Chains A and B, each alone.
Chain A
Amino acid sequence: MRRLPRKDAVIIGLGWTGAIMGWELCQAGLQVVALERGPWRDTASDFNIGTAPDELRYGIRGELFLNNSQDTVTARNTVDQLALPIRKWGSFLPGNGVGGAGVHWNGHTWRFLPSDFLMRSHYLQKYGEGVFPENHTIQDWGVTYDELEPYYDKFEYLAGISGQAGNVKGEILPGGNPFEGWRERAYPTPPLKMQHAQNLFSRAATELGFKPFPMPSGNISQAYTNPLGVTLAPCTYCGFCERFGCANYSKSSPQTTVLPVLMRHPGFEARVQCEVVRVLKSADGKTATGVVYIDAQGEEWEQPADLVIMAAYQLWNVRLMLYSGIGRPYDPSTGEGVVGKNYAYQANSAVNGFFDSSHAFNHWAGAGSLGITADEYNGDNFDHSGLNFVGGANINCTSFHARPISARPIPPGTPRWGSAWKKATRENYGSFANVGSQGCNMSYRDNYLDLDPTYKDRLGRPLLRMTFDFKANEERMSAYVTDKMVPIMRAMGAKQIVANPKKGPWNVVPYQTTHNTGGAIMGDNPRTSAVNKYLQVWDMPNVFVLGASAFPQNAGYNPTGTVGALTYHAAEAITKQYLKNPGQPLVQA
């Protein structure tokens, strides 16, 4: 192993969080190197309009995702089962390469509700101890919505998010989300234009007493130049968004918002196809001294650095911490330890509607975040007394694609092949719509991450093991919210309705979401959390762990808005406080 010259900071992973942190640290004058285990990717070459809209290559074979042969996880539903490797991604699709999953995300860009950050204390105070599910490990975040508001704002303005504000400084605005936390100012760009399905949903939901509003979108509705001087172009509703790179510079991603300036910054260097295998520690174990990585030729390098930023995505942050012995590993039998604790996911559901053929939904003219949402049954926006669950889900109606290999719904009972299949496929392709829900997922003592005892990666190191299932709280929540979605679909005019509330056991095959959370959670107490509210490791102050690994449990929204806000919150604490007094904890334990 050869040793490279020291850097002020090393960033592990150059996705959404790594790119943002890279820019902020460079602006503060640091010499920064980012190590990214996937390839370099840019719009013109990698998401070229002549090659990007290719469902088989990107949507089905998944060329932009991490190869399972490089790294994967083992999975099981309960502690008494044998975990087996995910041999081909299904339920979630980890990113790979510069831009990370930010290249091929959908762009739904949410703020969590103020009460989501007080998941324990808010519900305890309002409903009493009895409201919490069995074996839960629900915690407050150690940070409040009010503290995060400026950083949500910063992320939304970086990314150019298109939406309609619902609450500007306490004033409730028509057409926005009346339940959202206050915001300092409106979204940087107006909402996307809506499709037929959203128009039907809006009308139906409004009649039923909901207050629907446009989904905040990282597919940008009009040209926008962000505070870094990088310009995004208007979205053309191409229908090849999630799982694909955008050929138009219209999807907010590290490529379209940060990298053009970051890559030119004299303080910044990126090394791609360089996989960090371990964080190095000082002899007393109290500080990180740098990282070890393996380059494309298989050579091992030591990169010393004063500051280590883990930005490798939730799963791989946790895996690197476990390997490197950062923080105490979680033990589900005692409930002690923190790394791997509180792994959670997202409990989604769907109500499918088959309409008569007079409808032309044209979902292929769609965008990743083209949708209408209603938040009446999310978080604690509704009274949970007597409901026997905590949390909720946002209800949405989207048109994000109708790619023909994967989106050919036929009514249940129809044959899967033959002439009858062909006829039903043709009839329903254009006249199908869906109402979905994005549900919360609480944390439990026996949903967690650790290292697998049997399966190894290509370098002979244990894979990450995931022990996870949906529990009664999530099933009850999903059944309740899905019940509220059915009347909307009926009022939209569907002639046949199929409701699919979320039910366990969790299955690794069908795509659900790439919203893996927890495992290195934030909090106000080192005994119960791995990082403080600035994402600084409690017992190793020169290591910061970015991403949804910090979520103590997951809310009824997609994570990246909150991931972005937490990253900016951490960046400001590093540049304004930590660097004045390096190596010191920003919060006293």
Chain B
Amino acid sequence: MTDARTSRRTLLAATTALIGLSGTASARTVHGLPWTSNEVYPPAEARPGPWLFFTADEAAAVEAIVDRLIPADELGPGGKDAGCAVFIDRQLAGPYGRCEGMYMQGPFPPNPLPTQGFQSSVAFASAYRQGLAALAAHVGRSFGGRKVQQLSGEELDRLLTSMEKRETNTPEFNASGLFDLIHNNTMEGFFADPIYGGNRDMAGWKLLGFPGTRYDYRDVIARPNRRYELPPVSLLGRPDWNRGGRG
């Protein structure tokens, strides 16, 4: 998300460098606001298409999992149809997957306090790669050579429950860590703006009744405690506007 930065942001810094290079005695003062009209920094939009990070097998496993975490039911679509796996794939292929911006220097002592938060040397993309491989191996052993995506809904629910409850953890397989990671990213995908590939048709927002990015609710404030009837809007607008069904 930070790739789109243009030179405008460094403009003032560059000015300083110039002073130094030319060696002039009087510093050049920057006057006014260095603003260029129509300059904005849109997010990197997730495009439809092939998987960017997942292998076909990983993707199938993740799609199966997100669809159990958020099942399709009478309340609306499930995690798979809402694009949660696509969301996760695009996130892992980008700066998030590399833990860009995080402090990733060692040492990494083995037993951090529970109050000290994330203390792993493994960035999220690698954590998925290693974790999904360990999960595939575990499922192969425990379910007669089958794959995650070949388990029945009930079997998968039982597996996910045991992972969540730390019952599947072994020294080689941090199953609860993998569960928490996928759970967290699935929820992000289901509820983030559709521009990132999940929350397709704003399914997550419709489930809640969240109106999205409308930004001006003075009409709502004027009359508290009334149910809001207007449909949600995303950064992509609405499907019935002009985006040919996207959003």
| Interface of A toward B, CB cutoff 8 Å | 2, 4-5, 7, 33, 39-40, 42, 44-46, 48-57, 60-61, 63, 67-69, 72, 75-77, 81-82, 84-88, 90, 193-196, 199, 234, 236-240, 247-248, 259-260, 263-264, 266, 268-274, 295-297, 299, 301, 359-362, 364-365, 402-405, 408, 416-419, 422-423, 425-426, 429-430, 454-456, 505-509
Contact = CB atoms under 8 A, between A and B. Distances in A.
B220 interface: yes
Q: Report whether over half of chain A's contact residues are helix, strand or loop; otherwise say mixed.
A: loop
Nearest to A195: B224
Given A55-B192, A301-B20, A422 B70 contact: yes
B204 interface: yes
29 contacts: A39-B9, A40-B8, A40-B9, A40-B11, A46-B41, A55-B193, A84-B116, A86-B117, A87-B117, A87-B119, A236-B218, A237-B217, A239-B217, A248-B215, A259-B33, A272-B11, A272-B12, A296-B13, A301-B20, A362-B226, A405-B187, A417-B70, A418-B69, A429-B208, A429-B210, A430-B209, A506-B115, A507-B114, A508-B115
Contacts of A4: 16, 19-20, 27
Contacts of A248: 215
Interface of B: 1-2, 5, 8-17, 19-20, 25-27, 29-37, 39-43, 68-71, 73, 75, 96, 99-105, 107, 109, 112-119, 157, 160, 164, 183, 186-188, 191-193, 195-196, 204-205, 207-218, 220-222, 224-228, 235
State the 6 A-B residue pairs at the shortest beta-carbon distance, nearest first.
Answer: A365-B217, A404-B191, A56-B192, A68-B103, A196-B225, A365-B220
Contacts of B224: 194-196, 199, 362
Nearest to A44: B35
A166 to B, nearest CB: 23
A270 B13 CA distance: 9
Contact of A295 (B17, B35, B41): B17
A405 B31 CA distance: 41
A418 B12 contact: no
B235 A53 contact: yes
A260 B33 contact: yes
Given A45-B41, A77-B113, A404-B210, A87 B102 contact: yes
Given A5-B25, A51-B42, A56-B193, A269 B226 contact: no
Contacts of A507: 114-115, 117
Given A63-B1, A263-B31, A508 B117 contact: yes
A360 B224 CA distance: 8
A359 B225 contact: yes
Nearest to A295: B13
Nearest to A416: B183
B196 to A, nearest CB: 6
B31 A88 contact: no
Of B12, B35, B100, B227, the most chain A CB neighbours within 10 A belong to B12
Contact of A42 (B33, B99, B183): B33
Contacts of A260: 33
Contacts of A53: 212-213, 215, 235
Contacts of A268: 29
Nearest to A405: B191
Contact of B17 (A69, A299, A364): A299
A69 B103 contact: yes
A84 B188 CA distance: 27
Nearest to B186: A417
Contacts of B115: 75, 77, 505-509
B208 A425 contact: yes
A60 B188 contact: yes
A54 B41 contact: no
B223 to A, nearest CB: 10
B78 to A, nearest CB: 9
Contacts of B40: 44-45, 48, 50-51
A190 to B, nearest CB: 14
A58 B17 CA distance: 31
B101 A69 contact: yes
Given A69-B101, A85-B103, A236-B215, A419 B164 contact: no
Nearest to A426: B207
B7 to A, nearest CB: 10
A423 B214 CA distance: 25
Contacts of B100: 69
A257 to B, nearest CB: 14
Given A55-B192, A86-B103, A193 B114 contact: no
Nearest to A255: B33
A422 B210 CA distance: 15
Nearest to A456: B105
B10 to A, nearest CB: 5
Nearest to A62: B101
B27 A85 contact: no
A297 B70 CA distance: 47
A501 B215 CA distance: 33
A255 to B, nearest CB: 9
B183 A69 contact: no
A437 B5 CA distance: 39
A550 B99 CA distance: 34
B207 A422 contact: yes
